[in-house]
Amino acid sequence: MLLDQCFSYCLIALLPVGLKSVRESNLRSGLIQTERTLAEALRAARYTGSDEFLFAVGTSNFSFRINTPTNFSVGPFTAGGSPALHGDAMLTTFVELLPGTNRFAPGRAIIHTAWPPTATRLGNQWQGAEGSATRTVIFFPR
């Protein structure tokens, strides 16, 4: 009987730790998938002429011009790296885009991702973020 009580107590005590580990694992996976989604979108950017490229992330369209740095917010995203449509948002992203110097030159994107999705980017800092990560992606648009 004492063993049963101890086992029940230990399970209850460990439950929050286990749930936190699952949440952190989901956030890490979502972070990687979100970065992959954005990198694929940038690599699929299409040249439209007049030194401009277009690309889409989910249902949102974005553009950038050759040799013209630009910043934009994207998100929120799910743990699967796709744009969140309903209450399944976990992450938000801010991208610093440094396009190539000509149509065929590589560009660079600095992808800043934070959680929860209500975090906001002010200057070089996240406000209201529990955690964040930054990754640089090199891309050659089409």
> In the chain, what are the domain boundaries?
2-139
Tell me the longest C-alpha to C-alpha distance in the chain: 78
Contacts 24+ apart (CB under 8 A), 84-92: 84/117, 89/116, 89/117, 90/26, 90/27, 90/30, 90/115, 90/116, 90/117, 91/27, 91/30, 91/31, 91/34, 91/115, 91/117, 92/116, 92/117, 92/118, 92/119, 92/120
Per-residue tokens: 127: 């406000």
pLDDT at 22: 65
| pLDDT lower than 50: segments of the chain | 3, 14-15, 17
142 is written with which tokens? 């089409």
In this prediction, residue 25 carries a pLDDT of 73
What pTM does this model have?
0.81
Q: What is the pLDDT of residues 120-137, one digit of tens each?
A: 999 889 999 999 999 999
**DSSP character string of 101-142:** SSTTS-EEEEEEEEESTT-EEETTEEES-SEEEEEEEEE---
